[in-house]
Structure 1
Protein backbone atom coordinates (compact mmCIF):
# COMPACT_ATOMS: atom_id res chain seq x y z
CA UNK A 1 0.00 0.00 0.00
CA UNK A 2 1.42 3.31 -1.04
CA UNK A 3 0.54 6.11 1.36
CA UNK A 4 -0.29 9.26 -0.54
CA UNK A 5 -2.82 10.98 1.71
CA UNK A 6 -3.71 11.37 5.36
CA UNK A 7 -6.73 9.16 4.68
CA UNK A 8 -4.44 6.40 3.37
CA UNK A 9 -2.34 6.73 6.51
CA UNK A 10 -5.44 6.70 8.71
CA UNK A 11 -6.74 3.52 7.10
CA UNK A 12 -3.34 1.80 7.38
CA UNK A 13 -3.01 2.70 11.06
CA UNK A 14 -6.59 1.62 11.76
CA UNK A 15 -5.89 -1.76 10.16
CA UNK A 16 -2.70 -2.10 12.24
CA UNK A 17 -4.57 -1.22 15.42
CA UNK A 18 -7.29 -3.75 14.61
CA UNK A 19 -4.68 -6.45 14.04
CA UNK A 20 -2.89 -5.51 17.26
CA UNK A 21 -6.07 -5.73 19.34
CA UNK A 22 -6.93 -9.15 17.91
CA UNK A 23 -3.40 -10.34 18.72
CA UNK A 24 -3.60 -8.80 22.19
CA UNK A 25 -6.41 -11.21 23.10
CA UNK A 26 -3.97 -14.10 22.64
CA UNK A 27 -1.00 -12.17 24.04
CA UNK A 28 -2.76 -11.44 27.33
CA UNK A 29 -3.96 -15.03 27.56
CA UNK A 30 -0.40 -16.27 27.07
CA UNK A 31 0.98 -13.78 29.60
CA UNK A 32 -1.70 -14.79 32.09
CA UNK A 33 -0.74 -18.45 31.75
CA UNK A 34 2.99 -17.71 31.89
CA UNK A 35 2.81 -15.49 34.97
CA UNK A 36 4.04 -17.03 38.20
CA UNK A 37 1.75 -15.14 40.57
CA UNK A 38 -2.02 -15.22 40.63
CA UNK A 39 -2.01 -11.41 40.88
CA UNK A 40 -0.25 -10.99 37.52
CA UNK A 41 -2.26 -13.77 35.95
CA UNK A 42 -5.48 -12.04 37.05
CA UNK A 43 -4.25 -8.67 35.79
CA UNK A 44 -3.93 -10.01 32.24
CA UNK A 45 -7.02 -12.21 32.44
CA UNK A 46 -9.05 -9.23 33.66
CA UNK A 47 -8.08 -7.13 30.65
CA UNK A 48 -9.77 -9.53 28.21
CA UNK A 49 -13.18 -7.88 28.55
CA UNK A 50 -11.68 -4.44 27.81
CA UNK A 51 -9.86 -5.80 24.77
CA UNK A 52 -13.05 -7.34 23.36
CA UNK A 53 -14.86 -4.00 23.86
CA UNK A 54 -11.96 -2.20 22.16
CA UNK A 55 -12.17 -4.54 19.16
CA UNK A 56 -15.92 -3.84 18.88
CA UNK A 57 -15.24 -0.09 18.96
CA UNK A 58 -12.66 -0.43 16.20
CA UNK A 59 -15.12 -2.45 14.12
CA UNK A 60 -17.71 0.30 14.60
CA UNK A 61 -15.13 2.87 13.43
CA UNK A 62 -14.64 0.87 10.24
CA UNK A 63 -18.42 0.97 9.78
CA UNK A 64 -18.56 4.72 10.46
CA UNK A 65 -16.01 5.40 7.72
CA UNK A 66 -17.63 2.98 5.28
CA UNK A 67 -14.88 0.35 5.30
CA UNK A 68 -14.81 -3.37 6.03
CA UNK A 69 -12.80 -4.35 9.12
CA UNK A 70 -9.41 -5.42 7.80
CA UNK A 71 -6.29 -6.39 9.69
CA UNK A 72 -2.80 -5.32 8.68
CA UNK A 73 0.18 -6.83 10.44
CA UNK A 74 2.89 -4.70 11.94
CA UNK A 75 6.58 -5.56 12.37
CA UNK A 76 6.42 -3.93 15.80
CA UNK A 77 3.55 -6.16 16.96
CA UNK A 78 5.18 -9.25 15.45
CA UNK A 79 8.36 -8.38 17.35
CA UNK A 80 6.44 -8.08 20.59
CA UNK A 81 4.85 -11.48 20.02
CA UNK A 82 8.29 -12.96 19.32
CA UNK A 83 9.57 -11.37 22.54
CA UNK A 84 6.69 -13.00 24.44
CA UNK A 85 7.50 -16.39 22.90
CA UNK A 86 11.16 -16.04 23.89
CA UNK A 87 10.21 -15.05 27.43
CA UNK A 88 7.84 -17.99 27.84
CA UNK A 89 10.52 -20.40 26.62
CA UNK A 90 13.47 -19.05 28.61
CA UNK A 91 12.49 -17.43 31.93
CA UNK A 92 12.27 -19.95 34.78
CA UNK A 93 12.50 -17.84 37.97
CA UNK A 94 9.03 -16.89 39.25
CA UNK A 95 9.86 -13.27 40.15
CA UNK A 96 11.54 -12.78 36.79
CA UNK A 97 8.57 -14.38 35.00
CA UNK A 98 6.20 -11.86 36.57
CA UNK A 99 8.54 -8.95 35.84
CA UNK A 100 8.96 -10.04 32.22
CA UNK A 101 5.22 -10.56 31.77
CA UNK A 102 4.51 -7.09 33.15
CA UNK A 103 7.26 -5.55 31.00
CA UNK A 104 5.85 -7.09 27.84
CA UNK A 105 2.38 -5.94 28.86
CA UNK A 106 3.64 -2.38 29.41
CA UNK A 107 5.36 -2.33 26.01
CA UNK A 108 2.11 -3.49 24.46
CA UNK A 109 0.02 -0.81 26.17
CA UNK A 110 2.50 1.91 25.19
CA UNK A 111 2.38 0.71 21.58
CA UNK A 112 -1.40 0.75 21.68
CA UNK A 113 -1.48 4.26 23.17
CA UNK A 114 0.91 5.53 20.48
CA UNK A 115 -1.22 4.05 17.68
CA UNK A 116 -4.35 5.55 19.23
CA UNK A 117 -2.74 8.98 19.61
CA UNK A 118 -1.78 8.92 15.92
CA UNK A 119 -5.29 7.84 14.90
CA UNK A 120 -6.95 10.53 17.04
CA UNK A 121 -4.72 13.15 15.44
CA UNK A 122 -5.47 11.88 11.93
CA UNK A 123 -9.21 11.57 12.62
CA UNK A 124 -9.30 15.21 13.70
CA UNK A 125 -7.18 16.33 10.73
CA UNK A 126 -9.54 14.46 8.39
CA UNK A 127 -12.56 15.96 10.14
CA UNK A 128 -14.06 12.53 10.71
CA UNK A 129 -17.22 12.25 12.84
CA UNK A 130 -16.69 13.05 16.51
CA UNK A 131 -17.91 9.54 17.34
CA UNK A 132 -14.72 8.17 15.71
CA UNK A 133 -12.55 10.31 17.99
CA UNK A 134 -14.66 9.34 21.01
CA UNK A 135 -14.25 5.62 20.28
CA UNK A 136 -10.48 6.01 19.94
CA UNK A 137 -10.35 8.10 23.11
CA UNK A 138 -12.26 5.48 25.09
CA UNK A 139 -9.82 2.80 23.87
CA UNK A 140 -6.88 5.05 24.75
CA UNK A 141 -8.24 5.69 28.25
CA UNK A 142 -8.58 1.94 28.84
CA UNK A 143 -5.06 1.29 27.53
CA UNK A 144 -3.70 4.01 29.82
CA UNK A 145 -5.57 2.52 32.80
CA UNK A 146 -4.08 -0.91 32.04
CA UNK A 147 -0.60 0.62 31.78
CA UNK A 148 -1.14 2.45 35.08
CA UNK A 149 -2.13 -0.83 36.81
CA UNK A 150 1.03 -2.51 35.51
CA UNK A 151 3.24 0.39 36.54
CA UNK A 152 1.68 0.34 40.01
CA UNK A 153 2.52 -3.35 40.35
CA UNK A 154 6.14 -2.69 39.33
CA UNK A 155 6.43 0.22 41.77
CA UNK A 156 4.94 -1.83 44.63
CA UNK A 157 7.23 -4.76 43.83
CA UNK A 158 10.32 -2.52 43.86
CA UNK A 159 9.34 -0.85 47.13
CA UNK A 160 8.69 -4.17 48.89
CA UNK A 161 11.76 -5.92 47.50
Structure 2
Protein backbone atom coordinates (compact mmCIF):
# COMPACT_ATOMS: atom_id res chain seq x y z
CA UNK A 1 0.00 0.00 0.00
CA UNK A 2 1.31 3.43 -0.96
CA UNK A 3 2.14 5.90 1.76
CA UNK A 4 -0.49 8.61 2.09
CA UNK A 5 0.65 12.16 2.80
CA UNK A 6 -0.89 15.46 3.78
CA UNK A 7 -1.08 16.25 0.06
CA UNK A 8 -3.33 13.21 -0.40
CA UNK A 9 -5.45 14.13 2.60
CA UNK A 10 -5.81 17.70 1.36
CA UNK A 11 -6.97 16.49 -2.06
CA UNK A 12 -9.44 13.99 -0.61
CA UNK A 13 -10.93 16.61 1.72
CA UNK A 14 -11.09 19.11 -1.13
CA UNK A 15 -13.13 16.59 -3.14
CA UNK A 16 -15.40 16.11 -0.12
CA UNK A 17 -16.19 19.82 0.31
CA UNK A 18 -16.57 20.22 -3.45
CA UNK A 19 -19.29 17.56 -3.38
CA UNK A 20 -20.86 19.22 -0.33
CA UNK A 21 -20.94 22.70 -1.87
CA UNK A 22 -22.53 21.40 -5.06
CA UNK A 23 -25.20 19.56 -3.04
CA UNK A 24 -25.84 22.69 -0.98
CA UNK A 25 -26.39 24.77 -4.15
CA UNK A 26 -29.14 22.32 -5.11
CA UNK A 27 -30.72 22.18 -1.63
CA UNK A 28 -30.91 25.91 -0.87
CA UNK A 29 -33.68 26.80 -3.38
CA UNK A 30 -35.91 24.12 -1.85
CA UNK A 31 -35.24 25.49 1.63
CA UNK A 32 -35.96 29.03 0.43
CA UNK A 33 -39.27 27.92 -1.10
CA UNK A 34 -40.22 26.15 2.13
CA UNK A 35 -39.35 29.00 4.47
CA UNK A 36 -42.20 31.18 5.72
CA UNK A 37 -40.14 34.13 6.96
CA UNK A 38 -39.07 36.55 4.21
CA UNK A 39 -35.72 37.29 5.87
CA UNK A 40 -34.96 33.57 6.06
CA UNK A 41 -35.92 33.11 2.40
CA UNK A 42 -33.60 36.00 1.50
CA UNK A 43 -30.80 34.49 3.60
CA UNK A 44 -31.12 31.16 1.77
CA UNK A 45 -31.14 32.89 -1.62
CA UNK A 46 -28.08 34.97 -0.72
CA UNK A 47 -26.26 31.90 0.53
CA UNK A 48 -26.99 30.06 -2.72
CA UNK A 49 -25.24 32.84 -4.63
CA UNK A 50 -22.30 32.77 -2.21
CA UNK A 51 -22.10 28.98 -2.45
CA UNK A 52 -21.84 29.19 -6.23
CA UNK A 53 -18.82 31.44 -5.63
CA UNK A 54 -17.40 28.87 -3.19
CA UNK A 55 -17.59 26.23 -5.91
CA UNK A 56 -15.66 28.56 -8.22
CA UNK A 57 -13.00 29.13 -5.58
CA UNK A 58 -12.69 25.38 -5.07
CA UNK A 59 -12.17 24.99 -8.82
CA UNK A 60 -9.29 27.46 -8.49
CA UNK A 61 -7.79 25.47 -5.60
CA UNK A 62 -7.93 22.31 -7.70
CA UNK A 63 -6.07 24.21 -10.43
CA UNK A 64 -3.45 25.40 -7.93
CA UNK A 65 -2.68 21.83 -6.88
CA UNK A 66 -2.73 20.62 -10.49
CA UNK A 67 -5.65 18.23 -10.03
CA UNK A 68 -8.92 17.87 -11.85
CA UNK A 69 -11.95 19.16 -9.89
CA UNK A 70 -13.71 16.02 -8.72
CA UNK A 71 -16.37 15.38 -6.15
CA UNK A 72 -16.21 12.62 -3.57
CA UNK A 73 -19.49 11.56 -1.99
CA UNK A 74 -19.82 13.08 1.45
CA UNK A 75 -22.21 11.08 3.65
CA UNK A 76 -22.04 13.79 6.32
CA UNK A 77 -23.52 16.53 4.11
CA UNK A 78 -25.99 14.07 2.62
CA UNK A 79 -27.24 13.36 6.14
CA UNK A 80 -27.42 17.01 7.13
CA UNK A 81 -29.36 17.87 3.97
CA UNK A 82 -31.68 14.91 4.54
CA UNK A 83 -32.41 16.21 8.04
CA UNK A 84 -33.35 19.57 6.53
CA UNK A 85 -35.69 17.86 4.07
CA UNK A 86 -37.27 15.94 6.97
CA UNK A 87 -37.90 19.23 8.76
CA UNK A 88 -39.55 20.61 5.62
CA UNK A 89 -41.90 17.62 5.55
CA UNK A 90 -42.56 17.18 9.25
CA UNK A 91 -43.01 20.85 10.20
CA UNK A 92 -44.64 22.21 7.04
CA UNK A 93 -47.22 24.85 7.91
CA UNK A 94 -46.19 25.06 11.58
CA UNK A 95 -44.68 27.94 13.52
CA UNK A 96 -41.56 25.84 14.16
CA UNK A 97 -40.74 25.31 10.47
CA UNK A 98 -38.47 28.32 10.03
CA UNK A 99 -36.58 27.68 13.28
CA UNK A 100 -36.01 24.10 12.14
CA UNK A 101 -34.86 25.13 8.67
CA UNK A 102 -32.53 27.68 10.19
CA UNK A 103 -31.07 25.04 12.52
CA UNK A 104 -30.52 22.72 9.55
CA UNK A 105 -28.80 25.55 7.67
CA UNK A 106 -26.53 26.17 10.64
CA UNK A 107 -25.60 22.48 10.73
CA UNK A 108 -24.50 22.90 7.12
CA UNK A 109 -22.55 26.05 8.00
CA UNK A 110 -20.78 24.38 10.89
CA UNK A 111 -19.76 21.47 8.67
CA UNK A 112 -18.42 23.89 6.08
CA UNK A 113 -16.59 25.98 8.68
CA UNK A 114 -14.94 22.83 9.99
CA UNK A 115 -13.84 21.71 6.53
CA UNK A 116 -12.59 25.11 5.37
CA UNK A 117 -10.69 25.68 8.62
CA UNK A 118 -8.96 22.34 8.21
CA UNK A 119 -8.20 22.88 4.53
CA UNK A 120 -6.80 26.34 5.24
CA UNK A 121 -4.48 24.97 7.94
CA UNK A 122 -3.29 22.19 5.65
CA UNK A 123 -2.81 24.59 2.73
CA UNK A 124 -0.59 26.72 5.00
CA UNK A 125 1.38 23.63 6.00
CA UNK A 126 1.78 22.64 2.36
CA UNK A 127 2.92 26.13 1.33
CA UNK A 128 -0.08 26.71 -0.94
CA UNK A 129 -0.33 30.48 -0.36
CA UNK A 130 -2.81 31.13 -3.18
CA UNK A 131 -5.04 28.33 -1.93
CA UNK A 132 -4.83 29.68 1.63
CA UNK A 133 -6.24 33.05 0.55
CA UNK A 134 -9.09 31.41 -1.41
CA UNK A 135 -9.96 29.11 1.50
CA UNK A 136 -9.77 32.00 3.99
CA UNK A 137 -12.18 34.05 1.89
CA UNK A 138 -14.71 31.24 1.88
CA UNK A 139 -14.21 30.52 5.57
CA UNK A 140 -14.89 34.18 6.35
CA UNK A 141 -18.11 34.10 4.31
CA UNK A 142 -19.26 30.87 5.97
CA UNK A 143 -18.61 32.34 9.42
CA UNK A 144 -20.48 35.54 8.52
CA UNK A 145 -23.44 33.51 7.24
CA UNK A 146 -23.52 31.47 10.45
CA UNK A 147 -23.49 34.67 12.52
CA UNK A 148 -26.31 36.14 10.42
CA UNK A 149 -28.39 33.00 10.89
CA UNK A 150 -27.80 33.12 14.64
CA UNK A 151 -28.95 36.73 14.68
CA UNK A 152 -32.09 35.87 12.73
CA UNK A 153 -32.85 32.98 15.07
CA UNK A 154 -32.39 35.06 18.20
CA UNK A 155 -34.19 38.14 16.88
CA UNK A 156 -37.35 36.45 15.65
CA UNK A 157 -37.52 32.86 14.50
CA UNK A 158 -36.94 31.00 17.75
CA UNK A 159 -39.60 33.00 19.60
CA UNK A 160 -41.99 32.72 16.64
CA UNK A 161 -41.59 28.92 16.82
CA UNK A 162 -43.11 29.00 20.32
CA UNK A 163 -46.32 30.68 19.23
CA UNK A 164 -49.36 28.90 17.91
CA UNK A 165 -50.01 29.25 14.19
Considering the TM-score relative to the shorter chain, is it more than 0.5? Answer: yes
Q: Quote the residue 1:5 is aligned against.
A: 5
Which residue number corresponds to residue 47 of structure 2? 47
Q: Segments of 4+ in structure 1 off by > 4 A?
A: 158-161
1:32-67 C-alpha deviation (Å, 9 max, x unpaired): 011112221111012122111111110011011100
**For 1:99-121, what per-residue CA distance to the aligned partner results, in whole angstroms no more than 9, with x for missing partners?**
01100110101100000011011
- Residue 117 of structure 2 aligns to a residue whose secondary structure is helix
Number of residue-to-residue matches in the alignment: 159
TM-score relative to the length of structure 2: 0.90
Contact 1:3 1:9 in 2 (8 A): no
2:137 matched residue in structure 1: 138
Is the 1:18–1:58 Cα contact (8 Å) retained in structure 2? yes
Q: Give the RMSD, CA atoms, in angstroms.
A: 1.7
After TM superposition, give the deviation of residue 95 of structure 1 in Å.
Answer: 2.4
Say whether the 8 Å CA contact 2:84–2:105 is kept in structure 1. no
> Could you tell me which residue of structure 1 aligns to residue 80 of structure 2?
80
Deviation at 1:159, TM superposition (A): 6.6
Query: Structure 2: which 5+ residue stretches go unaligned?
Result: none
**Pair 94,159 (structure 1): closer, same or farther in 2 beyond 3 Å:** closer
TM-score (norm 1): 0.92
